[in-house]
Structure 1
Amino acid sequence: MTHPTSEFPEYRRGQATAAEPERRLTDDESGDHEPVEPPRRWRGLIWLTVAVGLVVALVLSVQAVGLWPSWRNPFAEEKTDRSQPPLLQSIQDLSRYVAAEGTFQVVIDLQKDRKYVPDFLVNERTLFVGAGNVDAYVDFAKVGDGAVVASADGTSVQVTLPAPQLSEARLDLENSYVFAEQRGLINRIGEVFGGDPNRQREVYRLAQERITAAAGESGLAQRAEANTRKMLEGLLRSLGYQTITVTYSRP
């Protein structure tokens, strides 16, 4: 205890306080400003970003010139066709001469509702635009014996043919479409739990019937008669006949 300062060397003889440690000046205080480098991890992240950007730009440029296959969208829509191959049911030899064809269009406005029930609850209304074709033909298979009578000198001939017939209308599905459709609330709920997949069949059937009926009143059969007569006259004149008479037998 006679020499306390010998045990604490930070105290000098004759001083009551500890000596202050040497103080170093910081860069801001010294006035010598040097560039501060970013930490090592930030430098690595910057270089990684630059490298990824270069790779993406290279891939896009190669893909643009067609040297790299296009990217495939993992959520792209895929269509799978599980249809079975067509089955041939029958073959028929036709002897029809199609002399004229008519193209028709009809608008079907079909509505189904319930009596005393509001339309917004139970209602089915379909506006369908149907396009179809009808053929007018002469069936040469029905030409019997004695239908062709030639003169003795071979200068005239008389041909009797069956009257032209009209085929059933064939709907053109590419040009037929549902223009508008209204369904009541109950109808829509029933559609969720299991609707009728054939509910559009009725409008197709009505369109075929209307087009077939319109063809019968359009003069298509008369056009077929004139075209068939013209065809036979040209054919028989090439065989040397000068006077050609074509008549049609009515059923």
Structure 2
Amino acid sequence: MTSTDVHSEDDTHDTRSTGPRTHRLRTAFVAFVAVLALLFLGTRIHLLPGLGGLFGEESHDRTGPTLLQSIQDLHRYEAAEGNFQVVVDFQKDAKYLPDAIRGTRTLYVGAGTVGSYVDFSGIGKDDVTTDADRTSATIRLPHARLGKPALDPDRSYTVDKQRGLLDRLGDLFSDNPDSEQAVTRLAARHIADAAKDSELTRRAETNTTAMLEGLLHSLGFTSVHVTYA
């Protein structure tokens, strides 16, 4: 075997060992770039939301039993309830990066209710007075209060969500529930503020007065006077 033959065999061996490896690396790199392109353009051209159906995805509810943690007696009269809806436009940006790289913007429709009630737990003997004939009664109650907003999941939904490239890559490894909680908390806060500016507590006091007047009239009282302080 000549030196030329040995050199030729070495060259052939190197070509066979490095050629396929280089091809695989090149293919993997092209695939990675394609995935990044889809992630970057998915929000704009709305391709990604429809890709899940190609793989025959199914949903399964494996939630365990619901546990009752406590029971509380309510000494209050739920007198009124308001229905509210708000469109939340929530944007979170990075300080030194453009929105296309890092940042989120979410449009979320939040719908829910706020109840208004009158608390009877603090009423004492001095707050209810009657005349000797028990035909006239005066009742002093605290002003109506507002309950906490309760978002309705059937009527609340995300309209649009735009995310930067880094945020979309992060979502591949995490559901990022903090972003969803941020918009729901913001929706609840706006609904609570709207309830404060509404006439919900006034309506609750009007309904409470009507309820007590009807109750005491059925017991024989001809005059019922309800005040709030």
Q: TM-score range by the shorter chain?
A: 0.7 to 0.9
4+ residue runs over 3 A deviation:
75-80
CA drift at 1:213: 1.1
Matched residue type, 2:109: V
CA RMSD of superposed structures (Å): 1.6
Change (3 A) 1:219 1:199: same
The residue that corresponds to 2:106 in the other structure is 126
Number of corresponding residues:
175
Matched residue type, 1:205: R
Change (3 A) 1:85 1:193: closer
Q: Does 1:208 align with 2:188?
A: yes
> Max radius of gyration: which structure?
1
Change (3 A) 1:77 1:123: closer
CA distance in 2, matches of 1:216, 1:223: 12
The residue that corresponds to 2:171 in the other structure is 191
CA drift at 1:230: 0.7
Q: Tell me, which stretches of 5 or more residues in structure 2 are unaligned?
A: 1-54
- The superposition leaves residues 127-154 of structure 1 with CA deviations (integer Å, 9 ceiling, x where unpaired) of 0000010001111112122111001122
Matched residue type, 1:95: H
CA distance in 2, matches of 1:77, 1:186: 25
After TM superposition, the structure 1 = structure 2 runs for residues 64-83 of structure 1, keeping only pairs within 5 Å, are 79-83=59-63
CA distance in 2, matches of 1:77, 1:188: 20
TM-score of the superposed pair, with normalisation by structure 1: 0.66
CA distance in 2, matches of 1:186, 1:195: 14
- The superposition leaves residues 103-147 of structure 1 with CA deviations (integer Å, 9 ceiling, x where unpaired) of 000111110112342211112000000001000111111212211
CA drift at 1:81: 2.8
CA drift at 1:198: 3.0
After TM superposition, the structure 1 = structure 2 runs for residues 1-251 of structure 1, keeping only pairs within 5 Å, are 79-249=59-229
TM-score of the superposed pair, with normalisation by structure 2: 0.72
Matched residue type, 1:233: E
Higher relative contact order (CA 8 A, sep 6+): 2
What secondary structure is seen at the aligned counterpart in 2 of 1:159? strand
CA distance in 2, matches of 1:207, 1:197: 16
CA drift at 1:170: 0.2
CA drift at 1:76: 6.9
CA drift at 1:195: 4.6
